[in-house]
Structure 1
Amino acid sequence: MKTLKVLGAVMLVSTMVLSACGTKEEKTPAASGGDGGNTTAKQKLDLRWFIFAPANASLPSADKDFVKKAIEEKFNVSLKIDYLPFGTDYDNKINVIMTSGDHPDMFLANGAASQKFAVDGLLADQSAFVTKATMPNYFKWITEDEVKNYQLKGIKHSRSPMPFQRNTYGSFYVRKDWLDKFNLQAPKSYDELMNAMRKFTNDDPDGNGKKDTYGFSAAAAGGRLPLDFPAWVNNGLVADFMIDDKNLEFVETQSSLKLQNVLQNVKDMVKDGVVDPDWFVNKSPQHLDKGSQGKIGVLWSTDKNFALESVPTSVQARTKQIDPKADWQPIFPFANQPYGWKQGTTGGASPFLFSKTVAEKSPDKIKRSVEILDWLASEEGYLMTHYGLEGRDYKKDGKKITIDPASYEANITKNGSFLDVWKFFTNLDEPSVLGLEVIDPRVSDRDRAILKFVEAIPKHSGEPVTLAPPEGMNIGDFRKEMARLQNVVLFDDKDASNWPKYREELMTKYKGQQIFQAYVDQVNAVRPADKQLKPFK
C-alpha cells in the first residue's frame, strides 16, 4: 500500500472552514463556502484518509506536491493518505481496517461494501455533516434528491455519492492497423469481431514471427465475469442494471437467465484460444498494459482517453511508443443491439464514508475532512487537481482554461501522474459543471473524431434511483456466490446449461428474489402509474 504523510506547520490561515477543535463555535458544521475561507483560527488536526487511486499513479515528494501544500495551508492539517487501486485488494484492505476498529477519518468503498458497513452499524450519520450549507461546491455536482435516494432503507444518512460522470465513454477498441494488415473492415457484428480476434491470435499481426498475441483480454482479478467481454452486449445485457421499458421489466444483468448465453459465448472464446490466458487473474490495468505492449487486438474501456494520441498516458500513446503504426479505434460491433453502455447514475457512484467511531470520538476530524472534500469540488480545487498550477501548467482567461501540455508532462506526469491520486473526489472530465471551457492544444482531428464516435454509442438511461437491498440484507453475500457459480460454469462445467439451476439457488437461498424485488419497488416509487415495472422474476 502506498502511503504519504502530509506535514504542515501550525498557522493561522484564511479559509472558509470551521473553528478550532473543541471550541464552542464548532458545535454544528459551518459552510466551507466558495474556494477559500474566513479568518477563523483553526486548531491543527491530524487526518487519515483511505482512497482509491490508479495503479500507475503515485504521490511525489512533499516539495513537488502542490496539492498537498495547498490543503495543509488552507485547512491546517497533517494529512496521511493511504491508497490502492479500486478492486479486490482495496476491498480486502478496507474490510480488514473496519474489522480492526482503527478507522480512517474519511474513506471510500464500493457500493456493496458500503452497504454492509452501514447494515453492520459501522458508519456515521452524515446528516449534520453533508449539507448544502457545509458543502456548497459538492452540491453543484450532486443534487439533494440524489443524496436522499442514495440512502439505505431504514438507515439514516450514512453514505454520500462522490461526483460521477454523467456522460459515459464505454466502448470496445480495436487495433485498426492490424485490421488493415488483414484487409478487414471495422467489425459491425459479433461474428465479424470474433473473426478479427482469431486473425489477431493466429496470423501474427505484429509480424514478429511469434505466436504471442491475442484477440482479447480482460481483468477479472479472480472474481466475477468482467463486463468487458463482448458477449454481454451481444446478448442484450448492458452494464449492471437495465430498465426494459418495452416489457416493463427490471433486468439484473449479472444473474439474468440470459447469462447462460453470455457464459457459453465466453467459454467458446476461451476454447478458440483468442482470449489472453491470464484474463481471470489479471488485475486492472494489467490487461490494458498488455494492450499497450502490443499483445492484444481488442479491449473494452470506459476511459475517455483510451485511444487519444494527445494524452501521454493513454493506451494509444503508450502503444505507439512501441509500434509507431499503432492505431486504436473505437468500434460498435453490435448492429442488432440497441445499446452499447449506459449513462452515468448515482447507482454507479462510489460513496465517501465516515466511521461512527470517529464521529463519536473526534467529530471535528469529520468536519475538517468535509471542508477539504468540498474544496476539492470547488473551481479552485478542480483546476488544481486536474490541470496543475495556474500560470505554469495552464492559463486561465475568465472561464477559459488552456492547458500547457509540456509543463503538465514535466511537472505532473513525470512525477508519478500524482494528480490522478488527488482527483479521486472529482474523478470525471466534466468541467462544464463549473462553467469552465478547457482547451487542450494537443487534441487532434483524429482524437476529436474518436470522442464523437464514442459519445454517439447508444446508451440506456439506467436506474433512476440508487438501489439498495432490504434492511438487514447484504448483497455482498449474493455477489460472492454469484461469482463462484459463474466460475463453476466457466471452468468446471461442460457447457452453460446448468446456469438456470444455479440462478434458482441464488434467487432463493441467497435471497436474490427479495433483493431485486426491493429494487423494483424502489424504481416504481419514482415512476408514473402507467409505467410501473412488473414483479421481478
Structure 2
Amino acid sequence: MDTSKKRRVGSLVMIGVLALSAALSGCSNGNEKKTESSTPATTLELKNGKYDPPVSITYLRPWGPDVKFKSGEDQDNNVHTKWAKEKLGIELKNQWISPSTNNAFETKLRLSLASNADMPDIISYRGEFNLVRELIESGKFVDAGELFDKYASDTWKAAVNEDPSVWYPYMQDGKKIGIPILDYSYNGDPVMWIREDWMKKFNLEAPKTIDDLEVIMETFTNQDPDGNGKQDTYGLTIGFKNWLNTWMSEAGWVFGAYGTMPNQWNLTADGKLEYGSVTSGAKQALAKLQSWMSKGYIPEEAGVYDETKAAEEFTAGKAGIVVGPHWMPSWPLEDVKKNNPEAEYKAYPIPSGPNGQAGRHGTSNGNGVVLINKDMKNPEAFFTYQNYLFDHYANPKEGDEFEHGFAEGYDWVMVDGKPSTDASLTGGYAPEKYTLTFDGARIPNLSMTTLAKLASGEEATTPFEKKIKSGVPVPMLDAAKIVLDQKDIVFNQMFTGAPSMTMQMNNDILTKMEKDTFSQIVYGKTSVDAFDSFVEKWKSSGGDQITKEVNEWYDSVKSGK
C-alpha cells in the first residue's frame, strides 16, 4: 500500500515494436500465433498462449514489509514467477532488490538515474510523486498510451475507463508516458477504529460529533482504560511525519469537520480549485489539534511517527482510536488481539464538526504507475502478462485457475472440502503481492459493490464474491458499509496533473513552510494566529500563481483540450 497516494518528455516513438494480432489478450485459445518485428531475424512466438522460446522481462519495484515468502522462496523464485514461466513463457527478473522502507528503493533508483545506468524493461512504482516525475523526465520511457491502445485487453481497458483521469498524473504534452496501476474504488477512504472494549467499560456512546469524540478521548487518556494503574494511554493516535492527510493514522478528517482537506486541491462551490491547507477551516482544525496535543489526547511523538508507527500505538493498546481504511483488520489491526486476546475494536463513521459537516479524503482509482523502457525489445510481453491477470484473476469465472485465489496453499486452502482464504489458515501468504503491479489486477468498482452486497445480507454467487466472503473479517465488512454510507463526505484530490511551472520552482519551499508552521501550531510552540501570516507568505511566494495554473489545468481537462 502506498503511502501518500501522490500523482509526465516529449513524444517518444517506439521503434521496433512487434505487432501482435489484435486478438491477443494473453489468453490461451489453442491457436499458434506468431509476430514479426521490423527486424526479420527477431521473432516472438505464442504457442497456446505461451511464449516459446520464453521471453524475459527485467523489472524494478519496491518490496514492502507486507510481502512475505515461504521458506525457500524469494523475490525471483516463488509461486508467481514459476506460474509466469510455466503458463505464459515469461521469465521475470528483478534488476536489483530493495525494500520500500526508509526510502531505500527511491535512493537506489535515483543513484541509478544520476549515473545514467541502464533501466530495466519495466518499473512499477507506488510512492513519491517527485520520483515518478524524475523518471518520466529522464526520457528513458516510451509513450505507453500507444502500446496500451494497441495491446491491452478489453477487460483492462474497461477497468481504466471507469475513471480516465487516472492517466492525468503520468501525462506529458498529451502523451500517456506511464500506465496507471488500478486499485479498488474507495480503497483508502478512512473510517474511525475505536477500542470497543474500552467503550463498553465506560458505557460510552458512538461519537457523532467532534464534541462527542472529545469526551471519549478524555476518558481514554485519563481514566486508565487498560486498567494497569498508570496514565499511559492516549485517546487518539496520529502520525504526521509524512503529512496530516495521509493513508493511515491520519488527521485529514479533523480538517474535514471544518470544511476542507489539507495538502490537496479541493473543488469549491463556485467550481474552482483551492488549496485546502490555506483556508479558514484549516486554521480551525489546527486549533483543535493544538488543543488535543496540550491535553495529552494524542501522542507527543505524533510529529515523528509515520503511518505505520502511529498505528502501533493502537495495536499495542496504548491508544483507543485510530483512523484509516476499511481493510485495516487484515493489517495491521490483527495485532490488536495478538497483543491482548480480550481486546475488541469496531469501525465508526467519521464524526461531524460544529456545522454538522463531516469530511474525509477520497481515494483515486489509480495507485501507482508502470513505466516501459523505450529500449524494451518486446513490450507486448508485459501486456500478455497483465491482460491475463485482468481477464482471469481480477474477476474469475467458476472453473478458472484463479477461482479461489492465486495459489492453493498460499492465499487459499481447502478446509472440510471448501476453499477458505482465512489468513489464520493460509499463513497470510499473498502471491498477488509478488506481481509486477503489486496486487495482480484490480477492477476498481468490483470490491466495494461486492462488500455492499454482502453487508446487506445478499448471498455470494461469483467466485470473487465467495472469496471476499470467505476471507473478510466481520469488522472489515462493517467498515466497508460505513465507507459507502459516507461516500457523500469525500474530498477528492482534484489536481492530478503534472506539476505546473511554478510548482516545480516553488513547491519545496512552500511545502517546508507549510509543514513547519503546522507542526509549530499543533505542538503549541506558536499561536494559531501564525496561520494567517503563513497564508499571506504562501500566497506571495508562488501560491497565488500556482492556484492560477492549477485552475487553468482544471479548465483544460474539463474541456478536453
TM-score by length of 1: 0.76
Supply the distance in 2 between the matched residues of 1:385 and 1:412 (Cα, whole angstroms). 19
Shift of 1:254: 3.3
C-alpha separation in 2, matches of 1:203 and 1:210? 9
1:291 equivalent in alignment to 2:322 = no
How big is the shift at 1:25? 8.6
1:210 and 2:250 correspond: no
Q: Does 2:328 match 1:306?
A: yes
Which of 196, 216, 219 is the aligned partner of 1:176? 196
- 2:420 aligns to what? 404
Using the TM superposition, give the Cα deviation of residue 126 of structure 1 relative to its aligned residue in structure 2, in angstroms. Answer: 1.8
Matches within 5 A, 1:193-204: 193-204=213-224
Structure 1 residue 519 and structure 2 residue 550: aligned? yes
Separation in 1 of the partners of 2:383 and 2:405?
Answer: 23
Change (3 A) 1:139 1:496: same
Residue 438, structure 1, aligned to residue 469, structure 2:
no
1:8 aligned partner: none
The aligned amino acid for 1:218 is I
Instruction: Within 5 Å, give how 1:21-32 maps onto structure 2.
Output: 24=40
Report the CA distance between 1:213 and its aligned residue: 1.6
Q: Distance in 2 between matches of 1:116 and 1:385?
A: 40
C-alpha distance in structure 2 between counterparts of 1:291 and 1:238, whole Å: 24
| Whole-angstrom CA distance in 1 between matches of 2:102 and 2:184 | 19
Deviation for aligned residue 1:235: 1.9
Tell me which of 323, 327, 331 is aligned to 2:344: 327
Q: Amino acid of the residue matched to residue 295 of structure 1?
A: K
What SS does the corresponding residue of 2:203 show, helix, strand or coil?
Answer: coil
3-state SS, counterpart of residue 79 of structure 1:
strand
What is the distance in 2 between the residues matched to 1:146 and 1:451?
A: 24
- Paired residue for 1:185, among 205, 209, 215? 205
The CA deviation at 1:47 is: 1.0
* C-alpha distance in 1 between matches for 2:69 and 2:37: 28
Q: Does residue 156 of structure 1 match 2:175?
A: yes
Q: Which amino acid aligns with 1:159?
A: G
Which of the residues 348, 364, 367 maps onto 1:349? 367
Out of 178-187 and 229-238, give the one that drifted further: 229-238
Go from structure 1 to structure 2 and tell me whether the alpha carbon gap of 1:526 and 1:403 turns closer, same or farther (over 3 Å shift).
Answer: farther
**Aligned mate of 2:406, from 385, 388, 391:** 388
Between the aligned residues of both structures, percent identity stands at 16
- Spell out, residue by residue over 1:57-78, the C-alpha distance to the aligned partner (whole angstroms, 9 max, x if none): 3233339932221123223314
1:468 has 2:498 as partner: yes
SS of 2:149's partner is coil
AA matched with 1:438: E
* CA 199–322 in structure 1, closer or farther in 2 if over 3 Å, else same: same
Q: Does 1:68 align with 2:86?
A: no
- 1:441–1:137 Cα change, 3 Å: closer
Name the amino acid aligned to 1:275.
I
Residue in structure 2 matching 1:500, options 522, 532, 535: 532
Q: CA deviation at 1:491?
A: 4.9
- Distance in 2 (CA, whole Å) between partners of 1:155 and 1:436 is 39
Task: Tell me how far 1:295 sits from its aligned partner.
Answer: 1.4
Which of 448, 453, 472 does residue 482 from structure 2 map onto?
453
Structure-to-structure mapping, 1:370-381, within 5 angstroms: 370-380=383-393
1:298, distance to aligned residue in structure 2 (A): 0.6
Letter in 2 for 1:359: K
Evaluate the alpha carbon distance shift between residue 256 and residue 149 of structure 1 in structure 2; reply closer, same or farther with a 3 A threshold.
Answer: same
**Which amino acid is 1:349 matched to?**
N
Contact 1:21 1:43 in 2 (8 A): no
Contact 2:84-2:92 within 8 A present in 1 as well:
no
Q: By how many angstroms is 1:93 displaced?
A: 4.6
Change (3 A) 1:282 1:290: same
Secondary structure class of the residue paired with 2:351: coil
Q: Go from structure 1 to structure 2 and tell me whether the alpha carbon gap of 1:485 and 1:314 turns closer, same or farther (over 3 Å shift).
A: closer
State the 1:495 CA deviation.
1.6
After TM superposition, give the deviation of residue 264 of structure 1 in Å: 2.6
Alpha-carbon distance change, 516 to 152 in structure 1, aligned in 2, over 3 angstroms = farther
- Letter paired with 1:502: F
Question: Aligned AA for 1:246?
Answer: A
**Corresponding residue of 2:69:** 59
Please list every run of 5 or more consecutive structure 2 residues that lacks an aligned counterpart in the other structure. 1-25, 397-401, 451-461
CA contact (8 A) 2:347 2:475 kept: no
1:130 is aligned to 2:114: no
Deviation, 1:476, is 5.4
Q: Are positions 1:142 and 2:160 aligned together?
A: yes
- For residues 493 and 476 of structure 2, the distance between their equivalents in structure 1, rounded to whole angstroms, comes to 31
In structure 1, the partner of 2:93 is 79
